[in-house]
Amino acid sequence: MLKVGAAPELMTTSPARDAKASNSIFPPIIRSVSALRRAAGKYRSSSDRVALVPTMGALHAGHMELISAARASCSRTIVSIFVNPTQFAQSEDLQLYPRNEEEDLRKLAEAGVDLVFMPLAGEMYREDFVTSVCLSGPGRGLESTVRPHFFSAVATVVCKLLLQCQPDVAVFGEKDYQQLQVVRRMVRDLDIPSEIMAVATVREMDGLAFSSRNAYLSSTERATAPRLFEILQETAVCLREGGTVVGEIERGTALLRAAGFDGVDYLALCDGESLQPLQLLVRGARLFAAVRLGTTRLIDNLEV
């Protein structure tokens, strides 16, 4: 039997109607911004510290680590699941993006999450929606050279979620390091009163960073994928041992191609805060890479 957790007054929908028989007690799901505001407001007025973990669902071990960090720092944890359509370009995988509502809810129940916010697109974006966050600084370069629309869309939806929920803490993974820096800068520049907490990348045993898009990889591609992190590590070692930035980036790029990646969008050494490209190894430098394997894009990064 499918059971739904306490606070039914917050529920605006029943979860996973087609769910198979199960004994899980799912956390309450809310779909409207006004219900989210009420619920988060109630938590705050009971002196609870509230954490928000924004996700697009298809939850994996990386997300679960964000949730553990949220629960360790706050008495209430809200997880949002929203596959934000504006951050996908026409040519990207919005329709194919993995969705597994029932499995996600089961994981969130096990993790002790208090509330799940799962709005429909129409709740987040009215038909006449015209406002967006425009940024430069860490939103320039790297991912934005390949996905120019991406960070404005991410910053806009994260800004909306932070204003809707007003969490004390919002948790993001270092796997999407540029996104993390963009969010940090936006929160600072717009005086949004939430602390941004970063959680280290969670990896499979062979080093591949957990990502919802790993589900797209064929078995041959999956076997090649861990080379991305290995080559980042090798490049970091060579840089630390005195290799020049230009030389090691060239060498690393050649290694990625030889490893079987179909394309290397970038391999770059950048400052870990401003994300400005570096010509010399300095404290706080980070390596960033994005590669293509068939139709799948993988990104990763590593502190040098």
- Residue 295 CB, shortest distance to ligand PAF, in Å, is 19
Burial of 136 (0-12, 13-18, 19+ CB in 10 A): exposed
CA-based torsion, 213, 101, 34, 8: positive or negative: negative
Part in contact with ligand PAF (CB under 6 A); list of ranges 4-12, 49-57, 124-132, 139-147? 49-57
Q: Rounded to 10 degrees, what is the CA torsion of 77, 197, 124, 33?
A: 40
Q: Can residue 135 be called a binding residue for ligand PAF (CB under 6 A)? A: no
* C-beta closer to ligand PAF: residue 4 or 116: 116
* C-beta closer to ligand PAF: residue 92 or 230: 92
Q: Can residue 154 be called a binding residue for ligand PAF (CB under 6 A)? A: yes
Mask 276-295, x = binds ligand PAF (CB under 6 A)? --------------------
Q: Which of 28, 54, 56, 63 is catalytic?
A: 63
Part in contact with ligand PAF (CB under 6 A); list of ranges 42-50, 54-62, 138-146, 276-284? 54-62
Question: Six-digit token pair at 302?
Answer: 């590593």
Contact 279, 246 (CB under 8 A): yes
**CB proximity list for 115: less than 8 A, separation 6 or greater:** 7, 10, 27, 28, 29, 30, 36, 39, 76, 77, 78, 79
Compute the distance between CA of residue 4 and CA of residue 48 in angstroms, rounded to an integer. 22
Q: Using CB under 6 A, which of 56, 74, 116, 135 touches ligand PAF? A: 56
Part in contact with ligand PAF (CB under 6 A); list of ranges 16-24, 36-44, 125-133, 150-158? 150-158
Establish whether 60 is a catalytic residue: no
25 φ/ψ angles, rounded to the nearest 5 degrees: -100, 105
Q: Can residue 152 be called a binding residue for ligand PAF (CB under 6 A)? A: no
Question: Six-digit token pair at 207?
Answer: 């080093």
- Residue 186 CB, shortest distance to ligand PAF, in Å, is 12
- Residue 92 CB, shortest distance to ligand PAF, in Å, is 12
Part in contact with ligand PAF (CB under 6 A); list of ranges 109-117, 153-161, 228-236, 270-278? 153-161
Phi-psi region of 33 (alpha: psi -120 to 50; beta: other; left: phi over 0): alpha
Question: Six-digit token pair at 283?
Answer: 């404290």
Kindly state the number of chain residues that form the binding site for ligand PAF, as judged by CB under 6 A. Answer: 10
Mask 76-115, x = binds ligand PAF (CB under 6 A)? --------x--x----------------------------
**Angle, CA 153 vertex, CA 156 and CA 58 arms, to 5°:** 100
CA distances from 110 to 13, 52, 103 (A): 20, 17, 11
Give me the active site residues, please: 63
Binding site for ligand PAF (CB under 6 A): 54-56, 84, 87, 154, 157-158, 176, 179
